[in-house]
Every structure is written in C-alpha cells, then in structure tokens.
Amino acid sequence: MPQMMPLSWLTLFFMFSAALVIFATTNFYTYIPSMFTTKSKIKVNPVNWKW
C-alpha cells in the first residue's frame, strides 16, 4: 500500500476537524427550543372517606 506523506495526514486532520466544528456550531445555533406557554396544573380530586 502506498504511504501518504505527513503533510497530507495533517491537512486531512484539519479538514475533518474544521468540518466537525462547523457541523457542531450549526447544530447548536439552529436549535430552536419550543416554549411551553401553558402551565400544567396538578388536578386534585378531594375524596371524602366515610367509614
């Protein structure tokens, strides 16, 4: 198998690292959280125990 020169490995490393950073930042900044406008209240049913 042919050997690649170290400069080529270094450029591949920087290329994939830059792609990872760009992918992570675009995923981070394009995330839009959904706001919950209604508050869920706990429904309490009063129960009278008659023995």
Predicted confidence (pLDDT) per residue in 13-29, tens digit: 999 999 999 999 999 99
Cα angle: 40, vertex 44, 49; to 5 degrees:
170
Share of the chain above pLDDT 90, in %: 29
Give the per-residue pLDDT at 31: 79
pTM score:
0.52
Q: Exposure pattern of 31-46 as b/e (b: 16+ CB <10 Å)?
A: eeeeeeeeeeeeeeee
